[in-house]
A and B are shown apart, each in its own frame.
Chain A
Amino acid sequence: MSLFSSAVKKPITTALMFVAIAIFGIFSFITLPIDLFPHIEGNTIMVMTSYAGASASDIENNISKPIENTLNSVSYLKHISSASRENVSVVTLEFQYGRDIDVATNDVRDKLEMIKTALPDGAGNPVIFKFSSDDIPILILSVTAKESMPGLYKIMDEKIVNELARVNGVGSVSVSGIPKREIMVLCDPYKLDAYNLTIESISSTISSENRNIPAGSIEVGSNTFSMRVQKEFTGSKEIENLVVGSYNGANIYLKDVARVVDGLQERSQESYTNGEIGGMIIVQKQTGENSVRIVRKVNQLLPSLEKQLPSDIKLGVIVDTTENITRTIGSLEKTILITLFIVMLVVFFFLGRWRATIIILITIPISLLASLIYLYATGNTLNMISMSSLSIAIGMVVDAAIVVLENITSHIDRGSNPKQAAVYATNEVAMAVIASSLTTLAVFLPMTLVGGLAGIMFRQLGWMVSIVITVSTLCALALTPMMCSTMLRAQNKDKDTKWHKAIFTPINKFLDGLSSFYARLLDKSLRHKRVVVLIAALTLIGVFAVCGPMLKTEFVPEQDNGRISVTVQLPVGTRQEITRDLALELDKRWRAEFPEIIRLGLSEGSADSDNLFASMRSNGSHIISMNINLGSMENRKRSIKEISSIMMSELAEYNQIKRFNVIAGGQQGGMGGQATCQVDLYGYDFNATDEAAAKISEMFKELGVKQTVISRDDYVPEYQVDLDREKLALYGLNTATVATFLRNRINGAIASEYRESGDEYDIRVRYAPEYRQSLKDVENITVYSSTGQAIKLRELGTIVESMTPPTIQRKDRERFVSVSAPLPEGMATSDMNEAITAKIEEAGLPAGVSWKFGGTYDDQVQTFQTLGLLMVLIVILVFIVMAAQFESLTYPFVIMFAVPFAFVGVLIGLTLTGTPMSIMAMVGAVMTVGIVVNNGIVLVDYANLNRERGMGIIRAVVDSGRSRLRPVLMTTLTTVLGMLPLALGRGEGSEVWRGMGMTVAWGLSISTLVTLVFVPVLYTLFAGFGLLRKRRKAGKAAALPKKV
């Protein structure tokens, strides 16, 4: 028994089976986590090796080069780059997307094992770090406080950090910009010298006085008591009264030579939020966890945590990476609902029967929900790709059901009773329905086989649409006949209500008129075949010749996620006060100028070493970094691109700024981040590459770019103490001892820890700030020899100003420097690449310097190639499916002529709207290939049928056109109009998928218009040839002498 006859015979079973699918789907929908893109596993591994005391070029030659050479043989490696700076080498390996990073890490570890012995003796063991997008903070909270500022760190640590770290999935929570409490012992060097004391002796006194030591146990009578010396400091005042030495028989107290300050750490990062001082709390997630889920939990927790805080402390959100995700998915959900509504209208418009419309529409939610079960089962997320696949699929799922319903209706109209009509009519079209689903599957299934970045992006799309199409075919073959058998009646025109007649009589008249107009047009074209072919060929060549060169390309469109991050660098060594003044000035200016800014968080100064996130980013007293939250794009007129462009011009006005980097979207390249053009310059000679980098930076500026970032830092000025070894030897000193003396006085020595209610605070002994402000102060530092002789530093050597060479960067085993520039508005990646190539070729580069495009350009080229290859594969597969269906090679060939016209449509669409070809648009084009052939299949199939029924070629074709126009228009309109919400969407994130909707809509509409005329003409031509050949054969056979 066939599927549909059992379905019709067992309506309850059938209905409940689909209800079950729907329920599982709804369950999946509720529990599915959401994200922006499918999970992209990190593809980067870093190998860090320290080699104390080595200069950058030593590191390059002795550490980085050997490691690079060895690791270069690891499989699936895309790029290997290294940064060699003083004392440390960092080799970064970038693997091809899709490579299991754990396997790669093992490979790397094995290779490192091999090379360990070849590294210099003093070098540390190479350490492997995996880095992925999971390490980017998902949430940055601002904390502002007034009265509670001194104790803020402790309050945050206890009340917020610990609580948040306990949330499931949160990786690490760190506090930045809030200084920690510290007990500072600030010494007066003159008094120290007078009493023959040193920083070292003071810190050892503090350390040995701040002790609790158990002394064993003692038995007294029948009891045992434990003995303890308990002399840990109970208050910071106690430290002042320590006896640190004696002079002429009198005790010297610490307060005599130093002042003890119980305060906040001296130099640290400061954070401001909307101009108010405070701090930042940075939340990172655990690898593989879902950001949205974690942030939701954190947000639920925050109000209750806030209640426990002192009333002057305010929490706010500076960066919430999930806001954009939630809004994007929300706007996609809206898009899907609009699409559903449009498809419903189209179906109702054509069918004019609400029962029939319901039967068709019911297949949509069921098929879509079935694909959600797949997402849930495979542990995926609802993301931009999976959601837009749903939106794409809506227009296509109804096609099969429409064909089945149409045939059942015509059987019922002929007089069959609905139950039998449902079975027999479905039987008649089952093969055709399956075949047309197969052509669609031929497009989407190969997508699941693609590797690399395109694979990660589009594997989900492939699976989703394939599942949706398969389930919708099942629906069409089981649910649709079942519902038709129970719900449809023979149409009784007289019974129609008044309004129904009022609406549908004109619609039907219009559609009939359209059909006969089309039949006339077809008839005319069939009689002027050559003209039609000529016009078609000319259009094809013309559009390709005109629009082809105008086509721009880009990787992934930039998304407006309401974030801008700004880094400003003043000359190295700028005092923090000056940096702070500038930071606050910018903050004030921008918040006045851009009312769109909801929250502006900034931080400046050196980060504490235990703040993981802050110390990973470049920091220092001369660096300002800002995070600006502008809110949803739907609530403002100016885009982040416009605003960031104004910011760039304004930053360029400040002469004191050495370099700045404004990043619209908070991240560069990758998925929806700021589009940049990056030129990599390769060459050994520093001066030559520096010169080339400056030249290219100039070229970018000439092209309208407002900021360029050169990856190589300048030489950094610093003071070096040049010790004279002979003099050191004279006093029995060595470099290490003197250097330690110097460090203890300037940076300070951590003498001990002060404990208070379970927390520990550093006790730091150093010179008071007023005694370490000039070079003279440093020269006057007293060093004691082993014999106790006091010597001034200036007697041991000189202080010289020198320049530290910058980090040596290498990529693919060659020294390189990169220049990157964000694209100005209205410029696509391909425009900029062409312009800069022309400029570089014209001006030339210094000898020994070669160049290449870097950044995401590699990914773009590779992805485009993959998709191009995929397209060829799909064309072949679609051809095979059609050839099998028609059992002919000619007809599929004729139908395939629709494909170039799909590209004509895509080209026209992209050119008219000025949209660059992104990978999303490219995928749209790939999909169009499979969809456009469907109309041709319907027309050719019916023409064949007419001929089999005995009609002549031309009549068969015209009749096929007249009677098939409605279904063709209906299925095309559901698909094209279903794409419109995607193509015209203005919601958050729509920039990314707009290209996809646009290419499908344009490609399909233009190719449908052409298919309707051009394919029938070609069909007639080829059928004519076929007939001629047959007749000739028959003639020859007749002419042959008959065998007797």
Chain B
Amino acid sequence: MKAVFITYNEAHSDSVLEALDKCFIRGFTRWEQVEGRGSRSGEPHLGSHAWPTMNAATITFVDEDAAARLKKYLKELDEQKPQLGLRIFTWTIDND
């Protein structure tokens, strides 16, 4: 099993949901309106006067195939709209 954590500009919200559906992933947990800043580049999303945009975050626990599919799919999405920002982090977890 993999845990996939996706943080993205809130403008991506619908597209991320769509991606989950396309990859036949049913379960997920989402936080709307979270703040964050990328490690290397991109605008911070702080909901402040200077950086008014906000992020959203979604976590889902899926098997490795699905995780790979999702990753590939979201990567494409990110490359299409690089200015918005979308990052995916995965880690392996025990499936007790």
Interface on A for B, CB 8 Å cutoff? 411, 414-417, 419-421, 424, 428, 944-945, 948-949
Contacting pair B10 A420 (CB below 8 A): yes
Q: How far is the CA of A944 from the CA of B50 in the complex (A)?
A: 8
Contact: B81 with A415, CB < 8 Å?
yes
Nearest CB of chain A from residue B23's CB, rounded to whole Å: 20
A939: min CB distance to chain B, Å: 15
With contacts A944-B49, A945-B49, A945-B50 taken as known, whether A420 is within 8 angstroms of B83 at the C-beta atoms is: no
17 further A-B contacts with Cβ under 8 Å, apart from A415-B83, A416-B81, are A411-B11, A414-B81, A414-B83, A414-B84, A415-B11, A415-B80, A415-B81, A415-B82, A416-B11, A416-B84, A419-B14, A420-B14, A421-B11, A424-B11, A428-B52, A428-B53, A945-B50
B48 within 8 A of A: yes
**Cα distance, A945 to B51, chains bound together (Å):** 8
Bound form: Cα–Cα A416–B53 in Å: 12
CA gap between A945 and B48 in the complex, in Å = 10
Main secondary structure of the interface of A (DSSP, over half): helix
Least CB separation from A941: chain B residue: B49
Shortest C-beta distance, B52 to chain A (Å), equals 4
Residue pair A424, B53 in contact (C-beta under 8 Å): yes
Q: Are A415 and B84 in contact (CB under 8 A)?
A: yes
Q: Check B49 against A417 for contact (C-beta < 8 Å).
A: no
* Known A414-B81, A415-B84: A949·B11 in contact at CB below 8 Å: no
Q: Are A948 and B10 in contact (CB under 8 A)?
A: no
In contact, A949 and B10 (Cβ under 8 angstroms): no
The smallest C-beta distance from A624 to any residue of chain B, in angstroms, reads 75
- Which has the most chain A C-beta neighbours within 10 Å: B11, B15, B53, B84? B11
**Nearest residue, chain A, Cβ from B48:** A948
Q: Which of B49, B54, B83, B84 contacts A948 (CB 8 A)?
A: B49
When the two chains form their complex, are residues B50 and A424 in contact, meaning their CB atoms are under 8 A apart?
Answer: no
Query: How far is it, in angstroms, between the C-alpha of A109 and the C-alpha of B61 when the chains are bound?
Result: 90
How many angstroms from the CA of A416 to the CA of B10 in the assembled complex? Answer: 9
Contact between B50 and A417, CB atoms less than 8 A apart = no
14 interchain pairs, CB-CB under 8 A: A414-B81, A414-B83, A414-B84, A415-B82, A416-B11, A416-B81, A417-B11, A419-B14, A420-B10, A421-B11, A424-B53, A948-B49, A948-B50, A949-B51
Contacts of B60 in A (CB 8 A): none
* Cα(A664)–Cα(B21), bound, Å: 81
Residues of the B chain whose Cβ atoms lie less than 8 Å from the Cβ of A420: 10-11, 13-14
- Contact residues in A for B49 (Cβ distance below 8 Å): 944-945, 948
Pairs of residues from A and B, 5 with the lowest C-beta to C-beta distance, nearest first: A415-B81, A948-B50, A416-B11, A428-B52, A414-B83
A421 CB contacts on chain B under 8 angstroms: 11
Tell me which residues across on chain B come within 8 A of A944, comparing CB atoms: 49
Cα distance A1039–B52 in the bound complex, in angstroms = 37
A693 to B9, CA, bound (A): 83
B51, closest chain A residue (CB): A949
The interface residues of chain A lying within 8 Å CB-to-CB of B48 are: 948
Interface positions, chain B 15-44, Cβ under 8 Å from A, are 15
Q: How many Å from the CB of A886 to the closest CB on chain B?
A: 10
Q: How far is the CB of B55 from chain A (nearest CB, A)?
A: 11
How far does the alpha carbon of A416 sit from the alpha carbon of B49 in the complex, in Å? 20
CA distance A948 to B48 in the complex (A): 10
Q: How far is the CB of B77 from chain A (nearest CB, A)?
A: 10
Question: Nearest Cβ distance between residue A564 and chain B, in whole angstroms?
Answer: 63
B43 to chain A minimum Cβ distance, whole angstroms, is 9
For A949, list chain B residues within 8 Å (CB): 50-51
A949 to B13, CA, bound (A): 26
Bound-complex Cα distance A945 to B49 (A): 7
Task: Give Cα A411 to B48, complex, Å.
Answer: 17
Bound complex: CA of A958 vs CA of B54, how far in Å? 27
Minimal beta-carbon separation of B53 from chain A (angstroms): 7
Contacts of B81 in A (CB 8 A): 414-416
Whole-angstrom CA separation of A297 from B81 in the bound complex: 67
Chain B nearest CB, measured from A751 CB (Å): 96
Chain B residues in 8 Å Cβ range of A424: 10-11, 53-54
List of A residues within 8 angstroms of B54 by Cβ: 424
Q: Which residues of A lie under 8 Å from residue B83 when comparing CB positions? A: 414-415
Q: Give Cα distance in the complex from A419 to B50, angstroms.
A: 23
Q: List B contacts of A948 (CB < 8 A).
A: 48-50
A945 to chain B, nearest CB (A): 5
